[in-house]
Structure 1
Amino acid sequence: MNKFMSVLEDILLPVADKLNNNRYLTALRNGFMVALPLIIFGSIFVVIANLPFLDKLIGEEAYVTYQNTLGPASAATLGIMGLFVMIGIGYKMVEQRGGEAIYGGVVALASFLVLTPQVLEETTGVIPTAALGAQGMFLGIFTAFISAELYQFFVKKNLTIKMPAGVPDAVSRSFSALIPITLTLTIFLLIRIAFSFTGFETVQNFIYTLIQQPLTALGSGLPATIIAVLLIQVFWFFGLHGQIIINSVFDPIWYSLNDQNYKAFQAGEDLPNIVTKQFMDTFIVGIGGSGMTLAVILAIFLVTKSRQLRELGKLAGPAGIFNVNEPVIFGLPIIMNPLIIIPWLLAPVVVAIVTYFAMDIGFAPRPAGVIVPWTTPALLSGYLATGNNIMGSVMQLINMAIVFVIWLPFLKVLDNQYYREEQSVQPAE
């Protein structure tokens, strides 16, 4: 076991360190954080607009009016979340370099719009909202990265207009950004013109066909999901925040899949994807935090006798209800503890597999695309994430039972060890 852990540490820790400190992944993660409050706002109104049995209470016609009235809340946030993400990424990219961050966000947005055809069917002068949502997510991310780098490059080359002393600071900063923004947007205009002479016609078609579509198909499958879940657990075992590291890579895929389900849910169509952002957040992480430790806390209260674990349960219980599990991770402890490495790695993988097939056969509903805040307690989060379906809560209960059973024998071994140590300590006279 020690040799195995040593090999894992030698291989994974350098990789994790590089991923965690990569400025692009950091900007990507922080860009999603910028968009998160808006996404949650839209999700809340999706839930309110689809309250169960409301159509029976107020009638079909009134219900349609009610939904149309609340519709702009989600359409203006969830429906175009790619827009907020790219602004956030551009902002954070320039901020990391100590530049004028607001121009990073502005140039990212403008560059994306330069690349985006402003036509919908026969109507010109409009931008399809789909281009600002799931379909445009990957292009928005790449555009934000490249535009922010180009902007900073021109700034560092001092290709700026220096205003004389006494000019208001806001005016001076605006003129200072003029040339870097102009050069950056000109490059993106040339890119758009160049693609118009290719078979793809637009950059959107190129990115979607060659990059986004294959990656989305890969990320929506069970094998990639198992790998992601397993890596999250392994990184946490070595004291690294596994979710931050892995989500930085997978979030664009999971959010894109989530948005597809949301649009299908809004249209009353069959939901196309099982694996989405909410599949991960609600049915795995959303049951006590990484490793689904709410079930572990429950097992501590039910079967342990050592004072150390009982006290840990009292401390970790309230936080675990809201999916904060650092008290368990550092107090059990989970980090570098060979006694619990098997259930720590195994339980989330088994839950992911069981949940996937339960949704595949229709036993449990697929996530409806509603972004539920990660601190939402289990059972309620399952209900909300599946479009107000009680079977979402039932699936979470089943998942908790799976984790409980897998952890039980290992927790008993740990408890017996702690109990013997406590018994061996003679009370002071």
Structure 2
Amino acid sequence: MMDKLEKVLGPLATAIGKNKYLIAIRDGFLVSTPLLIAGSVFLLLANFPIEAWTNFVENLMIGNQSLASLLSKCSDATFSIMAVFATMGIGYTIARENKSTPIFGAVVALMSWFILMPFQFNANITSLADATGVAINVPEGANAVVSGLQFGWLGSKGLFVGIICAITSVELYSWVERKGWVIKMPAGVPPTVVQSFSALIPAFIVMTVFFLINLCFVACGTNAFDFVFAFLQTPLLGLGDTLGAMVVAYIFLHLFWFFGINGGSVVGAVFNPILQSLALENLDLYRELGPAGYSVANGAHIISQQFQDLFATFGGAGSTLSLLIAMLFFCKSKRIKELGKLSLVPGIFGINEPIIFGLPVVLNPVILIPFILVPTMNIVLSYLAMNMGLFPPCNGISIPWTMPVIISGFLSTNWMGALFQGVLLVLGVFVYLPFIKTMDKQYLAEEAAAADSADTDDIDLDDLDLDDL
């Protein structure tokens, strides 16, 4: 089976490895990978799943801020603005592939992205007053138009628009350069000055084009970011409390992640209120009936917030803890092994951005199939097991999303639920295995080629013949 899959996936991986745009997106995301890994450590410290620790960091005040909020600033400086890094990185890489000046590609991509970004948004005045400490007497729920940047657009919500802007703006910039529409300086001018002036006309044309694009969106009463986000959310309307709804929601969630958009944020905006309501009903029933009487037969909901957090995925979207295990135990390429080692601890606690953007999962068709299939398998099998009474549905007790697998299953159901989590984790490893092995072979070939190139470039003094001088 693995041989057949490799015959199909091998040519696909090779084609991906030669595609300029996918290379640019992959390498562009690598810019943010070390920052995301470092930010994961601080995010874990702020949300470590031990109640005594979370109470400590939330109650320890340093000046007028808690230690938890200060720790969260490190994740805000990485996760919350990762689209900025990715847009610049993709622009840089495409410019490099086009033989343009990479640094100008990066800044042109970022400029285009910011031109399309809304700089004004509605904010609740009461919330603003609470944040600033200024007492304002306003009607409850009143809104004001505020000028500034929203963290949502700077993070994963704005990533898809960033990818589009980086590709289109740098391609346009490179096309203008190839046409020769540049300012040429006389000989003797420093190279940096020459590059700066030669970028003037291409950058101006890119700016004008994106100004006109933004003008069209504004004339229609919207903006590019809101349009894309609303367009992606539309298919999610109408999802409800059923196994089919959960599966459909998670297929969409993982498709969004494939395009670099935080699927949890998009799907969660529609689906999480339903799941939270179901979890509260479960908690009330659990308190009323106790562990002995709590069951599906007595009205407990299988689909709930805890079911999503603790049984659909292990280690983050795509259930990538299974992928990490496959990377560490079955892969040989240095790239995959080292990334697996760096991502293991965050992955145990449900933080998988290093894998999503470092492997990458984003725009990687080879990994897309198991990335969707493993969570779907987890949802269906867990639902069937709970429905058959092998173990009870999640009891509705709030358990941190960072709680490791096995422990979370025991706390939310019983020992049988914890054991079932372990079984699903292992099954996920075998589903991911043929796909990650395909990537592993590709990376091994690239590493071998790089090593051969390095050996060829080395100068061996023993080979020098002084008689030829």
* TM norm. shorter chain > 0.5: yes
Is 1:356 aligned to 2:408, yes or no? no
CA distance in 2, matches of 1:207, 1:48: 34
Q: Secondary structure at the match of 1:120?
A: strand
Aligned residues: 324
Identify if the C-alpha distance between structure 1 residues 383 and 287 changes in structure 2 by more than 3 Å, giving closer, same or farther.
same
- Counterpart contact for 1:262–1:369, Cα < 8 Å: no
- Counterpart contact for 2:252–2:267, Cα < 8 Å: no
Identify if the C-alpha distance between structure 1 residues 144 and 275 changes in structure 2 by more than 3 Å, giving closer, same or farther.
farther
The percent of aligned pairs where both chains have the same amino acid is 27
Q: 1:279 aligned to 310, 317, 325, which one?
A: 317
CA distance in 1, matches of 2:43, 2:55: 18
Q: For residues 160-199 of structure 1, what are the alpha-carbon distances to aligned partners after superposition, in whole Å with 9 as ceiling and x for unaligned?
A: 1112222222221111111111110110001111111225
RMSD of the alignment, in Å? 5.2
Q: 1:187 aligned to 185, 190, 209, which one?
A: 209
Is 1:398 aligned to 2:398, yes or no? no
| Alpha-carbon shift at residue 205 of structure 1 (Å) | 2.3
1:79 aligned partner: 80
- Counterpart contact for 1:261–1:368, Cα < 8 Å: no
- Counterpart contact for 1:27–1:92, Cα < 8 Å: yes
- Counterpart contact for 2:42–2:75, Cα < 8 Å: yes
Identify if the C-alpha distance between structure 1 residues 18 and 393 changes in structure 2 by more than 3 Å, giving closer, same or farther.
farther
Q: For residues 287-309 of structure 1, what are the alpha-carbon distances to aligned partners after superposition, in whole Å with 9 as ceiling and x for unaligned?
A: 132xxx84x89xxxxxxxxxxxx
1:161 aligned partner: 183
CA distance in 2, matches of 1:175, 1:255: 36
- Counterpart contact for 2:119–2:148, Cα < 8 Å: yes
Residue type matched to 1:62 in 2?
L
CA distance in 2, matches of 1:384, 1:163: 67
Identify if the C-alpha distance between structure 1 residues 155 and 105 changes in structure 2 by more than 3 Å, giving closer, same or farther.
same
Is 1:106 aligned to 2:107, yes or no? yes
Q: For residues 229-260 of structure 1, what are the alpha-carbon distances to aligned partners after superposition, in whole Å with 9 as ceiling and x for unaligned?
A: xxxxxxxxxxxxxxxxxx9x875446512566
Which 10-residue stretch deviates more, 355-364 or 33-42? Answer: 355-364
- Counterpart contact for 2:119–2:147, Cα < 8 Å: yes
- Counterpart contact for 1:381–1:393, Cα < 8 Å: no
- Counterpart contact for 1:359–1:365, Cα < 8 Å: no
1:21 aligned partner: 18
Q: For residues 310-356 of structure 1, what are the alpha-carbon distances to aligned partners after superposition, in whole Å with 9 as ceiling and x for unaligned?
A: xx9xxxxx9998499xxxxxxxxxxxxxxxxxxxxx99998544433
Alignment of 1:5-44 (within 5 A): 5=4, 9=7, 14-44=11-41
CA distance in 1, matches of 2:408, 2:23: 27
- Counterpart contact for 2:87–2:162, Cα < 8 Å: yes
1:92 aligned partner: 93
Q: For residues 17-60 of structure 1, what are the alpha-carbon distances to aligned partners after superposition, in whole Å with 9 as ceiling and x for unaligned?
A: 43332222221122221111222222211111123234576385
Residue type matched to 2:224 in 1?
V
Is 1:69 aligned to 2:70, yes or no? yes
- Counterpart contact for 1:79–1:259, Cα < 8 Å: no
CA distance in 2, matches of 1:74, 1:33: 17
- Counterpart contact for 1:358–1:364, Cα < 8 Å: no
Is 1:202 aligned to 2:223, yes or no? yes
Greater relative contact order structure (CA < 8 Å, 6+ sep): 2
Residue type matched to 1:114 in 2?
I
- Counterpart contact for 2:314–2:322, Cα < 8 Å: no
Residue type matched to 2:170 in 1?
A
- Counterpart contact for 1:261–1:369, Cα < 8 Å: no
Identify if the C-alpha distance between structure 1 residues 25 and 251 changes in structure 2 by more than 3 Å, giving closer, same or farther.
farther
Identify if the C-alpha distance between structure 1 residues 155 and 252 changes in structure 2 by more than 3 Å, giving closer, same or farther.
farther
| Alpha-carbon shift at residue 94 of structure 1 (Å) | 0.8
Identify if the C-alpha distance between structure 1 residues 348 and 261 changes in structure 2 by more than 3 Å, giving closer, same or farther.
closer
Is 1:256 aligned to 2:253, yes or no? no
1:53 aligned partner: 51
Identify if the C-alpha distance between structure 1 residues 403 and 261 changes in structure 2 by more than 3 Å, giving closer, same or farther.
closer
Q: 1:147 aligned to 161, 169, 172, which one?
A: 169
- Counterpart contact for 2:315–2:321, Cα < 8 Å: no
CA distance in 1, matches of 2:404, 2:179: 50
Q: Secondary structure at the match of 2:118?
A: coil
| Alpha-carbon shift at residue 284 of structure 1 (Å) | 2.4
- Counterpart contact for 1:24–1:145, Cα < 8 Å: yes
CA distance in 2, matches of 1:66, 1:13: 48
Residue type matched to 1:33 in 2?
L
| Alpha-carbon shift at residue 384 of structure 1 (Å) | 12
Alignment of 1:270-349 (within 5 A): 278-280=316-318, 282-289=320-327, 294=329, 322=341
CA distance in 1, matches of 2:211, 2:151: 21
Q: Secondary structure at the match of 1:166?
A: coil
CA distance in 2, matches of 1:347, 1:197: 42
Identify if the C-alpha distance between structure 1 residues 319 and 12 changes in structure 2 by more than 3 Å, giving closer, same or farther.
closer
Q: Secondary structure at the match of 1:105?
A: helix
Q: For residues 185-220 of structure 1, what are the alpha-carbon distances to aligned partners after superposition, in whole Å with 9 as ceiling and x for unaligned?
A: 110001111111225x211222223357659999x9
TM-score normalised by L of structure 2: 0.55
Q: Secondary structure at the match of 2:189?
A: coil
CA distance in 1, matches of 2:101, 2:250: 38
TM-score normalised by L of structure 1: 0.59
CA distance in 2, matches of 1:194, 1:157: 27
Residue type matched to 1:71 in 2?
S
